[in-house]
């Protein structure tokens, strides 16, 4: 069995419509609200927003790993993430993700694409979602993969 490097712990009460979430260390505390686009009152965050931030932050770390392996500068990377929630036709829902990665220090389009593709292999969120949800990637405005 692999050695666990870190465990995040959180508690949510009240669900996504009128809930509250908090990590056990108190570093993150959020009011959960259904977005107005889904008929809610808004005024809080929702799981899709949290997933978008979490995936982008995780992917940025993976870019650092990929950049070091490929001897490229990625410290100035910016990631715009979008998470969509779509009915699946069977009474449930499907997530979709797009990560638009900007690598200002990498001017070669092929190298930028290679770095983003390599990061996608390293990132724990990418590994967790691979084969389960659609993930679209761009590097400096160009599609990856």
State pLDDT tens for residues 104-135. Answer: 999 999 999 999 999 999 999 999 999 999 99
Output the CA torsion sign for 105, 110, 111, 115.
positive
Going by C-alpha positions, the residue among 39, 54, 145 that lies closest to residue 16 is: 39
Query: What's the mean per-residue pLDDT of the chain?
Result: 97
Note the pLDDT tens digit of each residue in 22-37: 999 999 999 999 999 9
Report angle CA 105, 106, 108 to the nearest 5 degrees: 150
Task: List strands edge to edge, sheet with 93-102.
Answer: 78-87, 93-102, 134-139, 142-144
User: Domains of the chain by range and CATH?
Assistant: 7-45 (2.20.25.10), 47-144 (3.30.300.20)
What whole-number distance in Å separates Cα of residue 53 and Cα of residue 80? 9
What whole-number distance in Å separates Cα of residue 138 and Cα of residue 37? 26
What whole-number distance in Å separates Cα of residue 133 and Cα of residue 145? 15
What whole-number distance in Å separates Cα of residue 132 and Cα of residue 42? 28
pLDDT of res. 24: 97
CB atoms under 10 Å from CB of 117, counted, come to 14
Cα separations in angstroms, 21 against 18, 37, 54, 86: 10, 21, 15, 23
Q: What is the mean pLDDT of residues 29-58?
A: 96
pTM for this prediction:
0.94
**pLDDT surpasses 90 at 145:** no
């Amino acid at each position: 069995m692999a050695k666990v490097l870190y465990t995040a712990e959180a508690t949510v009460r009240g669900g996504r419509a009128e809930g509250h979430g908090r990590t056990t260390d108190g570093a993150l505390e959020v009011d959960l609200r259904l977005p107005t686009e889904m008929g809610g009152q808004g005024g809080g965050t929702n799981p899709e927003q949290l997933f978008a931030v979490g995936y982008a932050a995780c992917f940025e770390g993976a870019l650092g790993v990929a950049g070091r392996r490929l001897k490229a500068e990625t410290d100035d990377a910016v990631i715009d993430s979008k998470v969509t929630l779509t009915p699946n036709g069977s009474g449930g829902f499907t997530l979709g993700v797009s990560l638009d990665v900007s690598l200002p220090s990498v001017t070669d389009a092929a190298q930028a694409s290679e770095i983003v593709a390599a990061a996608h292999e390293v990132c724990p969120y990418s590994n967790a979602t691979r084969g389960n949800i659609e993930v679209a990637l761009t590097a400096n405005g160009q599609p990856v993969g």
